């Protein structure tokens, strides 16, 4: 047979070498965000290619901003991104847990346990955790929902703003909650966010209704309108321009004037159509002809131009209207209704606010610098996501590592009933769960092992609420998390278990890594370079 290798242009690693390299990449990624976990977590300074900076404590923001080349690291980042999209919190926990699962799996591989057996054991452990979670659920009263929203902000912003943003996010979630086909739905995308650089973070507030940084097309229009009808145009009220390849041959002096008069007549017909439909509020994605400003004002219509398509969609959902490409195509079914429309000047800036029947809210994020405003905006988005999901699924778990320790204790007892090497994998899964309380203790300046043993000892005493005992990082001692109000949504832990386990199993199934060699390329020179 020929000795010529088939994959001569490929770098290849197989077996344990491939698994070790993949786990090393996962641990390196987890190390990048490990110090951000918990109320005592540290911030990260991110610098992009253009020198722009961002200071944040949000794990998924750190990971998505990093330039990562290793495919396994990208898999863990995808798991973190999915965690953020579904649960809005727990992104750092998902990465730490998946990396710890891989690290513990590597120890078993060195002992001679096959990755397939480890995978089966991990699946058994995940299933047992999901069953156990149902017995740890806490009823989500309104006060506990607010505290859970506040817990999601722990470490991301200072304590005074945590309480303020949690209350604002809770109010915003209640403003957009609705019932669809018997189910409660709270859509966070219905909350508009405006940024305002200047002032303090505590100046951030919620405005009822949809608020946009817009000014009516002319000051002669009504500044405030009571309940009325609204039309939304996915276009504009302007004279139509000629096509680029069309030439107009004017043979008499009156022809051009007649042409312009006809254009104006067509525009006025559109205004008459709006009046016939009873429209008192008009929003267009494009411009409104200057000649129509006075006509619209005389008709009592408040008009706004160049409204973004995303904002028009929010108006359509809130007012029950439908977007149309032009005014002439509007029917009564396309017209929506609003409670109030007001155009006012706040802190030197124009603001248009519309109160709608379907509810809606706008969050005004304030801060002394653009970086501060950006962090307030990101924190509010996380808090709002948690508040909305709690209205949809009002189930809570104890925080502070209490739930993870309770699950780990349950798994160790459950592992004794499993014959075969899968028992070792279940115990490794239990050890990996404890990475959360260990990291919380480490970031609080405590000894991870001693602190973990103290909390486990407290839970093992067997009282009725022993599974609520977690780590109080402020007082640096075990405490009842329910009494402290340190709680988190059930969906966060469920998604951490699912996402981290799946990511770890995907890496464990890899026993061959092939890297295609890339030929060196010459840099392209600019035309003026030699």
Helix (H, G, I), strand (E, B) or coil at 319: helix
Q: 279-284 and 302-304: which strand pairing?
A: parallel
CB 85 within 8 A of CB 113: no
Q: List active site positions.
A: 58, 91-92, 382
What is the distance between the alpha carbons of residues 170 and 197, in angstroms, rounded to a whole number?
23
Distance of CA 471 to the CA centre of its chain: 27
Helix (H, G, I), strand (E, B) or coil at 3: coil
Consecutive H or E run containing 361 = strand 361-367
Residue 179 tokens, joined: 């019932």
CB 273 within 8 A of CB 195: no
CB 211 within 8 A of CB 175: no
Q: CB count, 10 Å around CB of 344? A: 13
Distance of CA 530 to the CA centre of its chain: 48
User: Exposed (0-12), middle (13-18) or buried (19+): which is 291, by Cβ within 10 Å?
Assistant: middle
Terminal Cα-to-Cα distance of the chain (whole angstroms) = 51
Give Cβ neighbours of residue 118 (< 8 Å, ≥ 6 apart): 105, 108, 109, 424, 425, 428, 508
Give Cβ neighbours of residue 313 (< 8 Å, ≥ 6 apart): 323
Consecutive H or E run containing 206 = strand 205-208
Q: CB count, 10 Å around CB of 372? A: 17
Give Cβ neighbours of residue 189 (< 8 Å, ≥ 6 apart): none
What is the distance between the alpha carbons of residues 380 and 363, in angstroms, rounded to a whole number?
9
Residue 72 tokens, joined: 């396994």
What is the distance between the alpha carbons of residues 327 and 333, in angstroms, rounded to a whole number?
13
């Amino acid at each position: 047979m020929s000795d010529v290798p088939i994959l001569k242009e490929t770098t290849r690693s197989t077996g344990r070498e491939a698994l070790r390299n993949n786990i090393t990449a996962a641990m390196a990624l987890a190390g990048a965000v490990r110090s951000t976990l918990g109320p005592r977590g540290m911030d990260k300074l991110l610098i992009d290619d253009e020198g722009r900076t961002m200071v944040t404590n949000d794990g998924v923001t750190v990971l998505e901003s990093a330039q990562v080349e290793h495919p396994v690291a990208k898999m863990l980042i995808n798991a973190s991104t999915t965690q953020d999209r579904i649960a809005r919190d727990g992104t750092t926990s998902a990465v730490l847990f998946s990396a710890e699962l891989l690290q513990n799996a590597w120890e078993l591989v060195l002992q001679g346990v096959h990755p397939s057996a480890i995978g089966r054991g991990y699946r058994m452990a995940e299933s047992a955790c999901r069953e156990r979670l149902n017995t740890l659920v806490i009823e989500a009263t309104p006060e506990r929902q607010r505290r859970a929203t506040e817990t999601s902000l722990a470490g991301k912003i200072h304590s005074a703003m945590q309480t303020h943003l949690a209350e604002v996010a809770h109010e915003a979630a209640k403003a957009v909650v609705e019932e669809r086909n018997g189910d409660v739905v709270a859509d966070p995308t219905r909350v508009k966010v405006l940024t305002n650089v200047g002032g303090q973070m505590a100046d951030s507030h919620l405005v009822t209704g949809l608020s946009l940084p817009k000014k009516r097309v002319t000051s002669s229009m009504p500044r405030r309108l009571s309940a009325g009808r609204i039309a939304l145009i996915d276009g504009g009220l302007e004279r139509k321009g000629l096509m680029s390849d069309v030439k107009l041959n004017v043979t008499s002096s009156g022809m051009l004037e007649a042409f312009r008069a006809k254009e104006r007549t067509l525009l006025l017909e559109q205004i008459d159509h709006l009046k016939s439909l009873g429209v008192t509020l008009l929003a267009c994605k494009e411009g409104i002809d200057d000649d129509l400003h006075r006509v619209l004002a005389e008709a009592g219509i408040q008009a706004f131009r160049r409204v973004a398509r995303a904002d028009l969609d929010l108006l359509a959902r809130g007012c029950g209207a439908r977007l149309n490409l032009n005014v002439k195509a509007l029917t009564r079914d396309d017209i929506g209704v609003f409670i109030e429309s007001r155009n006012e000047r706040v802190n030197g800036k124009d603001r248009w606010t519309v109160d709608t029947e379907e509810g809606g809210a706008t969050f005004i994020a304030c801060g002394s610098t653009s970086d501060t405003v950006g962090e307030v905006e990101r924190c509010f988005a996380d808090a709002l996501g948690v508040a909305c999901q709690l209205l949809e699924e009002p189930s809570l778990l104890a925080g502070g590592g209490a739930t993870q320790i309770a699950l780990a204790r349950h798994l160790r007892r459950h592992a004794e009933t499993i014959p075969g090497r899968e028992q070792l994998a279940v115990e490794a899964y239990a050890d990996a769960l404890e990475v959360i309380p260990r990291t919380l203790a480490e970031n609080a300046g405590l000894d991870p092992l001693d602190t973990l043993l103290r909390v486990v000892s407290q839970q093992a005493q067997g009282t009725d609420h022993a599974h609520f005992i977690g780590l109080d990082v402020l007082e640096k001692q075990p405490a009842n998390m329910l009494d402290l109000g340190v709680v988190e949504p059930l969906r966060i832990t469920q998604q951490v278990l699912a996402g981290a386990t799946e990511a770890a199993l995907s890496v464990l199934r890899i026993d061959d890594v092939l890297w295609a060699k890339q030929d060196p390329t010459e840099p392209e020179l600019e035309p003026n370079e030699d």
